[in-house]
Structure 1
Amino acid sequence: MPHDLFGTPVIAAPMAGGTSTPPFVAAVHRAGGLGFLAAGYKSVAAMQAEIRTIRESGARFGMNVFVPDPAQLAPSRAALAGLEEYRQRLRADARRYGVELPQLRLDDDDEWRGKVDALLADPVELVSFAFGLPGADVVRALQRAGSAVLATVTTAAEARRAAEQGVDALVVQHASAGGHSAAFLAAERQEPQPGGSGGTTAELLAEVRSAVGLPLVAAGGVMDAAGLDAVLRAGAAAAQLGTAFLRTDESGARPLHKDALADPHFTRTSLTRAFTGRWARALENEFVRDHPDAPEAYPAVHHLTAPIRAAAAAAGDAERLNLWAGTGWQRAQSGPVAGILAGLLG
C-alpha cells in the first residue's frame, strides 16, 4: 500500500505562504519525488487555480488544508485581553516601519468549508490536513470522491485519534521540523520539545507505529540520504522534507529567507508563537527574542504581525521576518530541486 499511495520515498512538504508553488511541486515530481501544494492562507479560488496549473504540468501532487480551531475563533475574555496586550507590545515594531497594526481579527477559518467542498467537487489524489482532524464525515466524503486522506500528528495519542477517523495514512511530525507544529490535542499544544517521548524522528515514528497500523510519513530533521534511510528503516513509508528544499531555485520562499538560512549570523532555531500565535520553529532573530511570551491565538496573531512581516521583507530586514527552519537548516543547499532529489535518492 505505501508504494501505491506515494510511489516515492521523498515527499516535499506543503509550505504555506508562497513556498510550495505549482512550479516547485512540478519540479519535485520531475525529479522523482511527490510534492504537496498548500491551501493555507489562500482563498478557495486561489487554491483551485493552483490545482488547475499543476494539472496542466502533468505532475502528481497532493493538497494540504489547515483545520480551524473553534476555540481560537471564539476566544475567552482572558484570551482576548492577552491578545490586546500583545497588540500593544507590537506597537514598537510597527513604528519601526511606519505601519499600522490592524484591529483584532477573530473570524478567519481559512475558508475551511469552501475548500473542503471544492475538493469534493473536483477531487485530487491526496489530501492532507494539519492543525487538527477534519472529522470522520469529511474523511469518508473525500475517500468516496477518490482522494486518499492523510492527517498530521505529533504524538501516539494524536495518531490514535486520527486513526479513529478512518484516514489512509499519517504524517508524523517531530518537533525538529521547521515551521508550524501540527499538534492539536491540548497536552501536545504546550511547547513541543525535541527530547520528549520521541527523542528523534525515528524514535517518535516507532512510538506511533506501536499505536496504529497505518502507513506513516516521517517529518522533521530529514536533510540527506542518511536521514532518509534512518526513517525508512524505522518503518516510514516515506519522509516529508521542507527545510531541505527551502533554498532551491524553484522554491517560492523569499530570497531574504533563503539567504538567512546560509547566513552564519543565525546560530540556532527556536520554537516561537511570536509571529502567528501557534508554535513554529524558526531561525532565532530579534523578533523571536523580543517576544518570548506571545499568546496562543492562531490565526489572530498571524493577522496582527502581517504588516510588520511585510514591511520587514520589503526593507530586507531578516530580524523581523518569520524565518521558518528546522533544526537541520545549516545543511540546506541551494541549486535546482533535481540536485536535492538526486542526493536523497542516490
Structure 2
Amino acid sequence: MSIRLLLLEIGLFSKWRLITAIILSTILSAVSLFIIKNAVVGFINTSVVGSGMVTEFITLFGKRRVNDILYSSHWPFLLKLISFFIVFIFYFLLFYRREKRRLFFKSLNQLVTDTKKYVGSPDTKFKPVYQDKNLLQLTESINMIISKMDTLIMEERNAQRTKNELITNVSHDLRTPLTSILGYLSLITEDKYRDEVELRHYIDIAYEKSTLLHRLIQDLFEYTRVQNHQLKVKKEPLNIKEMLGQLVEHNRIEIEHRQFVCNETYCSNPLITEADGNLLIRVFENLLSNALKYGIKKKQIDICATLDNKNILVKVISYGNPIPALDLPHIFERFYQVDKSRGMHSESSGLGLAIAKSIVEIHEGEIKVESGVEKTVFSVYLKSLSQDEQSLK
C-alpha cells in the first residue's frame, strides 16, 4: 500500500477516532519503551551474559569513547526518538487496521441493508457511499447488474407490447379482406345475384381480396423471418446498375399501364456491392411500387445510382403529396401507414418499408427518406466493392 493511499484512507476516519488513536499510540509507545528499557537494564544487571556483553563492548571501544557516546553526543536522544517513532507507528497501524476493519463491516452491513431495500423497492439505486474500495467496486458491479436487468425487463415489456400490437394489427388486417371474401362467396352460394355479369363481378372482388390476403400473409411471414434472423443470406458481387435496369424492365408493363415515365440515371463508374440479389431486389421493388402508388401529382419516377464516398447511393424519387413531417420518423416502422394523410387509401400490409429497412441493415447499409412539397426521395446506401475486392471475389 502506498503512503498516499494510506493517508487517503486515514482521512476517512472521524476526527475524534483519529485523535484518540494518536493519543493512545503515544501513551502505549512511552509505556512500552519504559518497560523495554527496564527489561534491558535488568537483563544486563542480573545476567552474566548481559554483563559480559557490556564489558566486551567497553573493552572494544574504550571506556572514554563509550562515555562520550552516552553522555556527550546527540546519539542517545536520536536513538530514543527513533525507537519511540517505530513503536508509535506499530501501535498506530494496529489502531488503523482495527478502524479499517470496523468501517469495512459497517459498509458491508449498509450494503446488505440497501440490498434488502432494493428487494422491497426495485426502483432504488445503490449509491456508492461505501468507504472500502472493494465494496465500491462491488456496488458498481451490482448497479451494472441492476441496469442490465432493468434493460432486459424493459425489452421484455416492449417485446410483449410489440407482440400484442402485432396480433392486433394482423387480426385486423387479415379479418378485413377475409370478411369481404366470405361475404361475396356467401352471396354466390345463396344465388343472390341478378345475372352472370354480377356473378362475375362478385368472383372478381373475392379473387382480389384473396390476393390481398395472400400478400398480407406473405409480408407477415417475411417480416417475421427478417426480424428473427431466419433469412439465409447468400452474398455475392452484385451489379446495382444491372439489377435496377432489370427491375424497371420487369415492371415496364405496369409502369406504362399507369401512364408513368421512369427515368434511369447511372454514373459511369462500376457500382458493385456484395449482397444477396434476391433480398435486395425486394427493397427496390417496394420503393418502386410505392412510387407508382403515391406519385399522383407528376406521373414520373426517377431512379438514380451513383458513388457517394465508399458507398453506392441509390435514389428512388416520386412526385406526389408530401409525407407529413410528423410521420417521417416512423415511416419504416411496421404497420405504420400514412396513406390517409397523402390522399390515398391503399390496402397494403404496412410491412413493406419495415422489411426493406431490415434487409438493407442486413447488408450493413442504410435507408433514408426525405419528403417535400415537390418530391419524395428514398435513399439507399450500400457498401461499394473496390477493384481489389472485386478481383478477390
Question: Which TM bucket (shorter chain)?
Answer: under 0.3
TM-score normalized by the length of structure 2: 0.19
TM-score normalized by the length of structure 1: 0.21
- Which structure has more relative contact order (CA 8 Å, sep 6+)? It is 1
Q: Which has the larger radius of gyration?
A: 2
